[in-house]
Amino acid sequence: MNSGPSRLIPVSLENRLTIVRPHVGLTHIKVSIANPAKPKRAIDLKFLVDSGALYSVIPAALLRKLGVKPHSKRTFILADGSEITRKLGDVLFRLNGRQGAAPVIFGEKEDSTLLGAVSLKALGMALDPIKRELRPLPMVLAWHTLSQ
């Protein structure tokens, strides 16, 4: 595993049938992704679920194939303290009847394909850290009453 500065590992799942565990302690899942502007044109992609990463990382070539365009750039700090800059764009995620849109990092050659926390939350899902499975998030709506 390459851990040099070009290796991006940002850090954040549902139906047990779609989860694949090729390595102990790692959770992989297949998710459908699409360009929000062209949602019918989608591809299935296998992600490493990383609940400690904020954004998901998707290979730039796949995003270009879907017609996703970057809207900004951000600088990220890697585990070794080095900094890298990557482009960001928006993607529609679909998993087991759920869907949500989230910003994603345009991954480069050495970057891992990751499903991060923002994408998980957009899907209404969270990773169970003990069972390494995706679970629905409790959807709490704070009710505020104005006192007169």
What superfamily would CATH give domain 16-136? Acid Proteases (2.40.70.10)
- The rounded mean pLDDT for the chain is 83
pTM reported for the whole predicted model: 0.78
Closest CA to 79 of 132, 2, 25: 2
Residue 122's φ and ψ, nearest 5 degrees, are -60, -30
The rounded radius of gyration (Å) of the Cα atoms in the chain is 16
Q: For the segment 89-117, what is each residue's pLDDT rounded down to a tens digit?
A: 999 999 999 999 999 999 999 899 999 99
- Residue with more model confidence, 63 or 141: 63
